[in-house]
Structure 1
Amino acid sequence: MVLLPADGQCNLFMVWKTALACGQRFQTNCTVVNDGYHYDLSSLTRSSENYVIRIRNDMKSPKIVLNVCQSIIRQYGALCPIKSGACLDDTEKLNRYSSLGEVQKPPFFKNGYLQIEYQDGALCKNKNIKTPHIKTTIIFICVLEATETIPEYVDGMDDCHYQLIWNTAAACSIESLREYSVKTAGICSVTNPITNFTYDLQSLMNRDFTVVNTSGIKYKFRVCGALTDNACRIETGICNSKYNTSLGQANTNLIWQQGGPYLNYTNGDLCENGMHHYTVIGFFCGPEGSSNQPLLMEEYPCQTVIHWNTDLACEKRIKCTTNNDDEINLNPLIQSTNNYIVRANGTEFHINICRPLVPTRGLTCAHGSAACKVSVTSENEYTNEISLGFPEDSPTLNKDLQIVLRYIGGSQCPENPVKSISSNFTFVCDNNNQGLPVYKTYVNCTYVFEWNTSIACGAVIGGWTPPCTIKDGFLSYEYDLSLLYERRQIHYVKGKQGKEYSINICGGEKYCNGSAVCHGGNGYGSLKSVIFDYSRDDIKLKYSNGSKCNNNSYTSEVRFICNDSIGIGAPKLLL
């Protein structure tokens, strides 16, 4: 919450940023395939602010407010019609905001140019124009060096067809971006050509690392450098230690791709059909707390695949909360050791929340994917892996105030090759602990899941029942705290300055002038509220209106945090 200056000290104005004030966001797929080349504009989508473009170079000029593949973020200074992908902000008009077109269809190619078109905007008031509604066309021009740019208005205001041109690296094909990143790469470093972030793995150089296959055979390798023991031939980057077979020659050419950079060691010893062994070592930003050791994912007669979770590959980790930390928090659902596995119709879905999948031997879905669909053979081997998308955006609230998490940019959609596969997870407040997501349907290149979990409930108001029971009236959870009183009536805790506070949760009203928390004869308030915060797995007891403190009164808060292994435990002072 931000306080703005008071008007004559009588009127107080406040701005409160909250997900509850957000309208439903309308999105469309942001990828397209053209002549075998893949394009992805999703890096231009904004989730907390909009692009603003002035039509003229003066301060009173009308402004175009827009987003990419998603409706405009409604906020102060952008109160546009709710479905608008672009709108006009004209302070000279009585109706300041007017739609310049709604988000309806994904990017497309026309006359050789990558474009987005927002249609069905406000009514066109030019009687000479046959089209009844205003529309907006954004033409994207591939400029490999152009990062963090904004579009430029070209023409069309008088013709009800606003036209903009956007020079940006995001408009280049994934293939050309990868080629460009190779040309501009350094020694064991590479720059994301869209965001300008540099992955630097030089700190991993000049050290030996080992992975082990299912037969116990060790593969020794180095990052961006050759092994020095000469067990395999000279310049070998990875060596089969049992048979002294070179699985690829070393190089320092780190290659960029979505999900994280990788090394490709080629020209190893001969294998089948006159081919040479090669090894791909992929680096990705995994879940917090997961193993940071390399893992042998897959091996074929001529190919070896290694995945490595390392913070060095972390360009960004999305926030796993809805808009801010005071809203609903899905962090407890993030997996760091094993993925969630959902089985449906003879298929397995491997899923993580807000993070890439935990590396699993044999699972070689595009590294960095957060969800993967696989078939399982009779020998329990994974086949036909399909990426269901990458974790690019934080969860949002839909119109029903349910949490929705969306993964985008997965494998090519089979029934519509110009689109990529995505997946949607809707979290529904329910009175179970966590459960598992349930696969619901597949529609329009999107896999849809639903997850009933108490974590989606966020904070719920509860009540107090004497002598010492708290109850969540929404989910009907009930907790008996009487053991806190029966085993030890008064608990003590010391602060950093040596002050000692006494706590009596169940009998405070008789002990300290109606207060559960007491110090030096001062009571720190009577019970005001009970809050069950399921997304953080804690319960708060808030006390207010205690003894007089200067011109106010003492307050206190006791927060109970679940820990099955600690018994009754003991209180600690936070402040």
Structure 2
Amino acid sequence: MLPIMPQKENDMACRRPFRVSSASGGRLSIGLIVVTLMLMVTGAQSKLLVNGTDCTIREPLYNVTFDFNALSSDLNHHVTSEETNERFFFNVCDKEQSGKDNRTEPLAYLVRQDKKITLGYEAHLQLDNGRMQFSFLGEPCGNGSNYTLDIILLCSYERTPADLRVIPHTPDQCRYFIFWDTPLACQPLPTALVDNRCTVRDGTNRHLYNLLPLGGANHEVPLPDGGRFVVSVCKPVRYGHLTMCPPGTGVCLINGTDYRDYGQAVAEPKIDSNGRLVMEMRSKSEACQNSLIVFECGAEDGIETGPIYRGRKDNCTHEFVWRTTLACRDTRPCSVSNPITGTQYDLSLLANRTYTLTSRDNRTYELGVCRIPASSHCPLDAGACEVTAKQSVGLGAISAELQYETTGAPYLLYRSGAVCDANSGRRWETRLEFICETDPVEGGRTGTVVPPIVVENGECQLVVHFETVLVCEPALMACGAYNESTIDQYVDLSPLMDSTQNYVARSEGDQGRRYFLNVCRPLVPQYGLSCRGGAAACEATFDGVTARNETTLGFPDVSLVVAGNTVLMKYLRGDPCPQDPLTNLSTTVAFHCQATAGQGQPALVEIEHGCHYRFDWATAVICPPELIVPFEQSNCTFHNPSTATWMGMKGVLDELSLCDKQPVASIDYRTGSLTIRYTEPDTINCSSMNGVKTYNVTVACAPDRPLERTASTSCFEIIKKQSPTVCALVGRNATIHDDSVPTNPTKSPAHSTTHPTTVPTVTSTEPIGTKVQPEGAGLGAFGIVMICLTAVTTLSVGTLYIVRRHPDRCHQLHSILLCRGSFWVINDFPSTTYSRVDNSETSSLLLNPSNVLSDSDDDMLI
């Protein structure tokens, strides 16, 4: 028995006996050989205990099989205890090795104060009165006991379950529990409840009731006779410890060990004939035992206490009343709650202003958020309009009803604008999507109002993306994690976050498709890319000019997983998968350390079953630092063997006379910088520091800037320098662009197949920057001068010979040298030059109408 239980499990119920009721429809059969069923009767308690095999377990009451093989990971799962800061690493369902005799490394272990403690070599799966868990037995802990770890599997219908949670049980911290929310611990969902939104509009069709936030947990209603109702709305009752209700049940009566269906869960609420917001649930197994839940507005603080049992309305219906703010009709204008997190968004600070936008095709628009000033050029009651020199065309009526879907971003929808298509009578409408504004620069968000961006303005719809901190969750996706292999190393991907442009992934598949990604944040809004607001990965078809048919591949709301030199970033909750409508598209990006890759670029490697997109990303950002970088004093250069590059210090730090010193240097790939430390004797001012003054110099890969001296004292000085010369040495691109100038890239969707689609791995062979040889290793100044003189002399003699022997060719030679001849005219554009640019600039060029490229040019740039 677990002394510590989740809040939703009733401790008093732990002492009730178990009984299989005839009404439950459960049957015990001899055929259940894959599990061992034991009814252990001890006095007043009957216990149902089922052992699993091959990481599956069959529940005997309803003959439901739970399969947990998907919980296995190539990388260990990792969780940190908030109370003790201990870190746990474990894996389950590992079929490569089983048992301590065959395994050299433990399957579960604990890191406590840099000490590794074995928690177990094998995971035992059990079902104990509805509680499913993996149990580990570890090394001795003291007092004759052993370390133990129990991983409790809790049913969660969320596609993005909560993080793992650690609870130490015993005071000596020998026994631990980890709670793991997973859909695999749930009974199968009825089809209608898989992607239901649990919403309904009122009779006027003006207000949308959204009850989905109430469906996040079971709600218990105690009864005077010791029994209890367990109620769940929008989703069925979650199967769990002493809550073994029949599949699909929305209202379950539990009396001792008797579990009865008093109403099947329904997908949506409805408005009844009396105008009430209700849910009617009918039982599948109990005759005349149905339930009715009436939702009433409870706007007062503290009124939301869950369902209350009113008794039987008639002989067949049990009635509950549930007071909640979600049932209130008169909500604040320009505000909405996130149905997943419950966070309230209020955009009234953005209201009553006129925002003027210009699209990429040079059209001018004005719009307002919830309210628009009378000074706007828009027609009366319009929330958005296109403005020309002569008139303005309304693109939708103003509305203060901020909406939020279960996936996507908060949005305003302005309908019934001017007629767009005279033949069909279709009218213009405007969709204004609000996206969390993030700033990758250290110091956090800017808090400034980012100008809205037009992303679509065709087919009778204007789509605008608006970045604002007003729709940010309190805790954004963590963009770093501890490295499991190197216990105290923290891997940080935040240098790859880009608030000015998106990454375009390389792909050797369908060249008519583009894949857009950003790191730990939503995609940057850009013209022509209209994936759902807040998405971090997007696919679109590309016709050489613009992107179309956008598909959302996931949102940035899952923490990173780190093991060794690999970092996994997952984006979930994408659009429904065409191959399996019950599954949503998702994305996994695997970051690998490659010191010569610079920031790198994602590459599509596989589309699994048409539903899951896998990208590889080689980058220097996650590489461990180079602690010792050799310095060659004879030619004043640093050498990095990992990038096979040299950096000459002459002309970079001349003010410091570094070539005469004995510096010690290291490289930080995350920041793209070289840190140099050296000392100088100073017996007068630094007698207390052994007579030396210490210098700490950081040279960062960035546009050239002069030395900056900070935090200087008489015996210690910090110096900062920016220079592109160091870029190749630290594994960064030598071409430095100005990040303050936003650019807009392109997009790309994907074909779904019933079998995994394998895309050949794309490996960049281009050098990151110029590899500088040490001084003295080349020809020398004298040799270079002699070669130049020889070349000039030869050319002059040859030209004189042609002129004297062939006067007729003199004019032709003159034309060629002036680039006016017929030999070098390419594609009728004699002044056009082509050059390869940095990958981040490529994205901008592909969508920029002012630089229309041919297909061959497009391929070259990508």
CA contact (8 A) 1:433 1:453 kept: yes
Correspondence list, 1:206-355, <5 A: 206-229=352-375, 231-242=377-388, 243-257=391-405, 258-272=407-421, 273-288=424-439, 292-315=450-473, 316-323=475-482, 327-344=490-507, 345=509, 346=511, 347-355=513-521
User: Pick from 671, 678, 698: which aligns with 1:560?
Assistant: 698
User: Pick from 470, 479, 482: which aligns with 2:647?
Assistant: 479
In the alignment, the residues of structure 1 paired with residue 5 and residue 625 of structure 2 have an alpha-carbon distance, to the nearest angstrom, of 33
CA offsets 1:230-287 (integer angstroms, 9 cap, x no match): 7554211112223422211111111123342110111222332223321110010144
In the alignment, the residues of structure 1 paired with residue 383 and residue 626 of structure 2 have an alpha-carbon distance, to the nearest angstrom, of 56
In the alignment, the residues of structure 2 paired with residue 404 and residue 174 of structure 1 have an alpha-carbon distance, to the nearest angstrom, of 36
Question: Percent of pairs identical after alignment?
Answer: 23
Structure 1 letter corresponding to 2:579: E
Unaligned 5+ residue runs, structure 1? 1-49, 62-66, 110-114, 117-134, 155-160, 491-504, 510-515, 517-526
Other-structure match for 2:573: 409
Closer/same/farther in 2, CA of residues 54 and 144 from structure 1, 3 Å limit: closer
Correspondence list, 1:394-543, <5 A: 394-398=559-563, 400-430=564-594, 431-444=596-609, 445-467=611-633, 468-483=636-651, 487-489=654-656, 505-508=658-661, 527=664, 530-541=665-676
CA offsets 1:112-146 (integer angstroms, 9 cap, x no match): xxx99xxxxxxxxxxxxxxxxxx994579997565
Closer/same/farther in 2, CA of residues 183 and 440 from structure 1, 3 Å limit: farther
SS in 2 for 1:271: strand
CA offsets 1:481-511 (integer angstroms, 9 cap, x no match): 35567x3356xxxxxxxxxxxxxx44346xx
In the alignment, the residues of structure 2 paired with residue 551 and residue 262 of structure 1 have an alpha-carbon distance, to the nearest angstrom, of 62
User: Pick from 348, 356, 359: which aligns with 2:522?
Assistant: 356
Correspondence list, 1:33-48, <5 A: none
Q: How much does 1:298 deviate? A: 1.0
Q: How much does 1:53 deviate? A: 6.4
CA contact (8 A) 1:191 1:256 kept: yes
CA contact (8 A) 1:329 1:458 kept: no
Greater Cα offset, 268-277 or 430-439:
268-277
Other-structure match for 1:97: 148
In the alignment, the residues of structure 2 paired with residue 545 and residue 87 of structure 1 have an alpha-carbon distance, to the nearest angstrom, of 61
CA offsets 1:359-388 (integer angstroms, 9 cap, x no match): 11111111111111111135x232221111
Greater Cα offset, 210-219 or 180-189:
180-189
Q: How much does 1:202 deviate? A: 0.9
CA contact (8 A) 2:671 2:700 kept: no
1:189 equivalenced with 2:335 (yes/no): yes
How many residues are aligned here? Answer: 450
Greater Cα offset, 323-332 or 445-454:
323-332
Q: How much does 1:402 deviate? A: 0.8
Unaligned 5+ residue runs, structure 2? 16-67, 72-76, 93-122, 124-131, 163-182, 199-210, 221-227, 229-239, 251-264, 271-324, 441-445, 713-717, 719-862
Q: How much does 1:305 deviate? A: 0.9
Closer/same/farther in 2, CA of residues 151 and 391 from structure 1, 3 Å limit: farther
Other-structure match for 1:370: 536
User: Pick from 82, 90, 96: which aligns with 2:91?
Assistant: 82
In the alignment, the residues of structure 2 paired with residue 174 and residue 407 of structure 1 have an alpha-carbon distance, to the nearest angstrom, of 27
CA contact (8 A) 2:366 2:377 kept: no
Structure 2 letter corresponding to 1:252: A
In the alignment, the residues of structure 2 paired with residue 354 and residue 223 of structure 1 have an alpha-carbon distance, to the nearest angstrom, of 27
SS in 1 for 2:349: helix
Between structure 1 and structure 2, the one with the greater Rg is: 2
If the length of structure 1 is used for normalisation, what is the TM-score?
Answer: 0.65
Q: How much does 1:227 deviate? A: 4.5
SS in 1 for 2:615: strand
In the alignment, the residues of structure 2 paired with residue 175 and residue 562 of structure 1 have an alpha-carbon distance, to the nearest angstrom, of 58
In the alignment, the residues of structure 1 paired with residue 647 and residue 327 of structure 2 have an alpha-carbon distance, to the nearest angstrom, of 57
Other-structure match for 2:79: 73
CA contact (8 A) 1:484 1:568 kept: no
SS in 2 for 1:419: strand
In the alignment, the residues of structure 2 paired with residue 317 and residue 222 of structure 1 have an alpha-carbon distance, to the nearest angstrom, of 27
In the alignment, the residues of structure 2 paired with residue 213 and residue 287 of structure 1 have an alpha-carbon distance, to the nearest angstrom, of 23
Other-structure match for 1:569: 707
Q: How much does 1:150 deviate? A: 9.3
If the length of structure 2 is used for normalisation, what is the TM-score?
Answer: 0.45
Structure 1 letter corresponding to 2:79: I
In the alignment, the residues of structure 2 paired with residue 288 and residue 413 of structure 1 have an alpha-carbon distance, to the nearest angstrom, of 31
